[in-house]
Amino acid sequence: MTAAKDSRRVAYDTIRAVNESDAYANLLLPRAIARSGLDTADAALATELTYGTLRRQGTYDAVIRIAADRSIQEIDPAVLDVLRLGVHQLLSTRVASHAAVHESVELARSAGSRGAPGFVNAVLRRISRETPGEWMERVAASARSDDERLGLVFSHPVWVVRAFRRALAAEGRADELEALLTADNASPRVTMAALPGLASIPEDARHTPYSPLGFRLGGGDPERLVTQSGGTLRVQDEGSQLAALALTRASPMAPGERWLDLCAGPGGKTAVLAAEALLHGAALEANEVSHARAGLVRKAIAGVPLEVPVSEEDGRVRAGEGRYDRILVDAPCTGLGALRRRPEARWRKSPADVPELTQLQGDLLRAAIGGLRPGGIVAYVTCSPHLAETAGVVGEVLRDIGSGIEELDAREVLRSMSGSDPGLPAQKDGSGRAQLWPHRHNTDAMSITLLRRT
Ligand SMILES: C[S@@+](CC[C@H](N)C(=O)[O-])C[C@H]1O[C@@H](n2cnc3c(N)ncnc32)[C@H](O)[C@@H]1O
């Protein structure tokens, strides 16, 4: 087998497992690559084919539906995945058309019924006769509404398009919707953090614009740097760094403060909090309800010479009454702000997930507020810009509690620590919530609200 053929096979097997068994591409693919012994270039090709196909699946299905003149549900799922991978090569890569069609037909021979190779050949040939631009026009013309058009062209479920539109409109930036959808379809560059007081940003690295800890490598292997530094240099999204720092830098830190990271797993933000606590003489505790993820938290903070107890309780009861000066609630959420990281994630979520999550988010936030001393601060963070999970949860909790809580200006806190102005427009509801965006900040779409118990 040629190497490119191997890359396609690895990509196909991974896509199949993701679509058939709900597997995660980012966990499966590295193992499949190692098993098949692909070299670096072919591993990169397999990764591009897998991630690109899964991300753009919504668009490709629309193209296949038109070219095959039948609904996607009528196509054998194993053959449909062959077609998706083939369409990706035809419309989004520089792979020669004849190679893309030929290799897809070969895959169909092993994947589908006797008629599958002929069907794949006919559909892909039809698709290869028009340019990607022409296909996008046909796909757009098949939509029944503007949101559906955006969903098909930018490969997002329509409910996600709507949630993004509303969240951008809440800050008067609805016109950025296409830029956001485009950013979701590109792989994020690796961003790293140097834990404050424990590591410095390497001299040859480029500082990120907003987080004082953040940097990107010009080249080299991030994982090697993580190992060599004992975990004091870490891979971490810049928005995640900012969320942890928003809590510690919302007010001057004083020795003897008690901090709690209520939903800590896998521990990215805990590591930043631990380094800040060590520098400023605070005590930090972490909590994570999942045993496996609590283990990841312990690993994440191993490089910080501070004793951080990690409990494994339900955060709705863990915070107790009036004990802490700062609490981070990095709540479980739909993760709609990190769609560029997990290529299949957008197809796994549904609007039905939202009410259950917002209930839990509200309960966690209420419990955290109860756990604050007077003057204590809670940072309520989601890796989702969905208004129900952000402004909705905060608004409802504040209404329930009635008085004794003031909101701080999270946008101002971020501005004060950033090297460049993060460009955070005011929220129309008048809140101080900071919303980061992939297209504007090159971060995950983190929402950060800071509340102080008065
Ligand atoms: C968004 S993640 C936290 C990410 C983490 N702060 C980081 O930066 O690496 C939310 C976490 O909350 C945990 N979780 C879910 N329900 C919880 C509960 N009732 N109490 C505490 N943690 C919970 C999940 O297992 C998950 O690890």
Ligand 1 atom 1: residue of nearest CA: 332
Ligand 1 atom 25: residue of nearest CA: 290
**What secondary structure letter does DSSP report for 215?**
E
CATH superfamily membership of 3-142: NusB-like (1.10.940.10)
What's the number of CA atoms in the CB half-sphere (13 Å) around residue 5?
8
CATH code of domain 238-453: 3.40.50.150
Confidence of residue 244 (pLDDT cuts 50, 70, 90): very high
Query: Is 263 a known active-site residue?
Result: no
pLDDT tens digits, residue range 261-314? 999 999 999 999 999 999 999 999 999 999 999 999 999 999 999 999 999 999
pLDDT tens digits, residue range 352-370? 999 999 999 999 999 999 9
Domain span(s) for CATH 1.10.940.10 in the chain: 3-142
Q: What is the pLDDT of residue 219?
A: 84
Q: Is 368 exposed, middle or buried (0-12, 13-18, 19+ CB in 10 A)?
A: buried
Return the residue matching tokens 């709690």.
Answer: 260
CA 444/CA 106 separation, integer angstroms? 39
Find the mean pLDDT for residues 33-55: 95
Q: Which residues line ligand 1 (CB under 6 A)?
A: 240, 263-269, 287-290, 293, 314-316, 330, 332, 383
CA 80/CA 332 separation, integer angstroms? 33
Considering the candidates 378, 383, 410, 446, report the single residue annotated as catalytic: 383
- Check whether 183 has a pLDDT greater than 80: yes
Confidence of residue 113 (pLDDT cuts 50, 70, 90): confident
Which of 211, 240, 241, 263 is the best mutation target for the ligand 1 pocket, counting ligand atoms within 8 Å of the beta carbon and taking the most? 263
Q: Mean pLDDT over all residues of the chain?
A: 96
Which has the closest alpha carbon to 290: 266, 324, 308? 266
Distance 288 CA to ligand 1 centre (A): 6
Return the residue matching tokens 């891979």.
Answer: 235
- Check whether 448 has a pLDDT greater than 70: yes
Find the mean pLDDT for residues 326-339: 98
Could you identify the atom of ligand 1 that is nearest to the CA of residue 266?
9
Q: What is the pLDDT of residue 2?
A: 60
Domain span(s) for CATH 3.40.50.150 in the chain: 238-453
CA 327/CA 346 separation, integer angstroms? 30
- Check whether 3 has a pLDDT greater than 70: no
Distance 265 CA to ligand 1 centre (A): 5
- Check whether 1 has a pLDDT greater than 70: no
Could you identify the atom of ligand 1 that is nearest to the CA of residue 335?
1
Ligand 1 atom 2: residue of nearest CA: 332
Distance 287 CA to ligand 1 centre (A): 8
* Angle at alpha carbon of residue 316, lines to 312 and 319, rounded to 5°: 75
Find the mean pLDDT for residues 396-419: 96
CA 413/CA 447 separation, integer angstroms? 13
Distance 335 CA to ligand 1 centre (A): 12
H/E stretch holding 283: strand 283-287
Q: What is the pLDDT of residue 5?
A: 75
Confidence of residue 419 (pLDDT cuts 50, 70, 90): confident
Which of 289, 297, 447 is the best mutation target for the ligand 1 pocket, counting ligand atoms within 8 Å of the beta carbon and taking the most? 289
Could you identify the atom of ligand 1 that is nearest to the CA of residue 293?
27
Q: What is the pLDDT of residue 197?
A: 98
Q: What is the pLDDT of residue 90?
A: 98
Residues 6+ positions from 385 with CB-CB distance below 8 Å: 163, 164, 167, 168, 336, 337, 435, 437, 445, 447
Distance 144 CA to ligand 1 centre (A): 38
Tell me the sheet residues that pair with 258.
Answer: 283
